[in-house]
Structure 1
Amino acid sequence: MLEVIEIQQKASQGRTEPYLCRLSDDKRYYIKGPQAGAKGLINEAVCAFLGRALQLSLPPHCCAFLPQAILRFDDAASRVLGASDSMVFASELIPDLLEVTPTSVLNIPAHYARDLFLFDYWIRNEDRAMTENGGNPNLFYRASSNQYVVLDHNLAFDSSYNFNSNANVHLAYNAWFSEQHDALWRTHYSAKLAIALQGLAQYAATLPAAWLEEAPGHLAEINNALSLFNSDEFWEVLI
């Protein structure tokens, strides 16, 4: 298991106030700890696994140990990350990222935008909004690799999620609904979701016990939400 060995600086944005740190593999990661809550940390880890299983570009990630000792002389970090040993969600730093704008969002390849729209619907995530006036896309572009990078899923699996109220402000709404889908679109996506979900149980077994104990039943709720793709109702709103 990786361990946080150096706290470097707080991220310039992010409601959960992630910190850039160096881990024991000598790579730099943004970490989220107690400030995100156990459910938020579970959400981050589960969505990172599912997103990568669906071949969306999410940074490499892990659950890492944060020892109290390195927080002892950093009051600001302690206020955010806690003052005791903890397990954190760590997302590897991807350099040179540019946040997608209302203009640049038009350049996203259609197939990628559609996959992202379906992913956020599946995980009940409202936190990828974009209008002509801006928003909170949590989607970044890296020119050096011509790659879009997806971040931040602590607010996924929202029990009050309402597709009709939120879908039209998703940054990929037009990409999904602007073209008619072919006859096999549901079969295509159903197979992808099934494969991703099939591996989740094994992955979830590796999550920190402290998170699961603090949020009992949350994994079951997540699995129930994800399994809805097996119903006709799940797909009807996407037509």
Structure 2
Amino acid sequence: MPGTNETLSVVEIIRNIPGDTTEPLLCKCSDGRRYVVKGYAGTSCEELIAEWVAANLAKRFGLSVPPFHIVAVPDALTAFMPQWRYSLQQDEAFASLYIENSAPLSQPQAHEAVNTQSQKLIYLFDRWINHTDRTFAGRSANMIYDFSSGRYYLVGHDRAFSLPGEQAEHGPHVYAPGERTWDFDLVDRNEGEQRVAMVINALDEILAGIPAAWSTGHEAFIGQVRRVLMRADDNEFWSSLS
């Protein structure tokens, strides 16, 4: 998978990225490309784990996410810059390729620029990982649009994998019933079950890629990630999607 095996390091911190509560930084990495990098400041270890696991699952699920990596943050890069050192305290950070010429997807674009089958997959995926932040309730739905290519990308999965009932809904999902013109039917369920079964086989490999700096002391959350995903074994989960 693009971006998960190659070892990269941050070589330059360019600037803050405004308007994001996780306080990411725009950085240049050792492959010469620019990335949105999330380290310590506004992002907990559990949120970094959620970003990593969700991005891997989404890619395997067939969804459009920017290429991503876990990147090393050299001490020398932040040693004399206190504001950067706070933002990137972790030895390793989550990096998502910065998509040039992109902007948050508007509500009309979310329905016009994303075809119906992709809408169904996004809705299923977010319900599966219990990601309640794909909403236009006063904020971006964590979807961006590349105007040069006409392609959308899913971003911002740091709030995924909360147990059902533990996290307040932020608003209706962009493709929830009442926000869409299609139904999630038996054909969609059959395809969804096949995709989930295929992707879940890679979970151990994905979890093994979590840096020790993130996972140490957060083993309970990693177990929670498994429990959230295993809900797809229950008929109740699938019945709730229609």
Match of 2:3? Answer: none
Structure 2: state its 5+ residue gaps: 1-6
Give the 3-state SS of the residue equivalent to 1:222 in structure 2: helix
Whether contact under 8 Å (1:61, 1:90) holds in the other structure is yes
Query: Residue 214 in 1 paired to residue 217 in 2?
Result: yes
What corresponds to 1:12 in structure 2?
18
Give the direction of change, closer, same or farther, for the CA distance of 1:3–1:175 in structure 2 (3 Å limit). Answer: farther
Q: Distance in 2 between matches of 1:75 and 1:167?
A: 34
Distance, in Å, in 2 between the alignment partners of 1:34 and 1:214 is 15
2:84 maps to 77
Q: Closer, same or farther in 2 for the Cα pair 1:91/1:192, shift >3 Å?
A: same
User: Counterparts of 2:130 and 2:223 in 1: how far apart (Å)?
Assistant: 15
Instruction: State the superposition RMSD in angstroms.
Output: 2.1
What TM-score, normalized to structure 1? 0.90
**Structure 1 unaligned runs (5+)?**
none
Alignment pair present for 1:129 and 2:158? no
Match of 2:189 in 1: 186
Q: Once superposed, which parts of structure 1, at least 4 consecutive aligned residues long, lie more than 3 Å away? A: 160-163, 165-168, 174-178, 180-183
CA drift at 1:177: 5.7
Identity of aligned residues (%): 27
**Given residue 80 of structure 1, which amino acid in structure 2 is its aligned partner?**
S
Q: Secondary structure at the match of 2:14?
A: strand
Report SS of the residue matched to 1:214.
Answer: coil
1:94-105 map, 5 Å = 94-105=99-110
Residues matched between the structures, number: 234
Question: Contact 1:113–1:176 (CA<8 Å) still a contact in 2?
Answer: no
Which of residues 48, 51, 57 in structure 1 aligns to 2:58? 51
Alpha carbons of structure 1 residues 117 and 176: separation in structure 2 relative to 1, 3 Å: farther
Tell me the distance in 2 between the aligned counterparts of 1:236 and 1:57. 26
2:71/2:95 contact within 8 Å kept: yes
Q: Distance in 2 between matches of 1:66 and 1:101?
A: 34
Q: Secondary structure at the match of 2:122?
A: helix
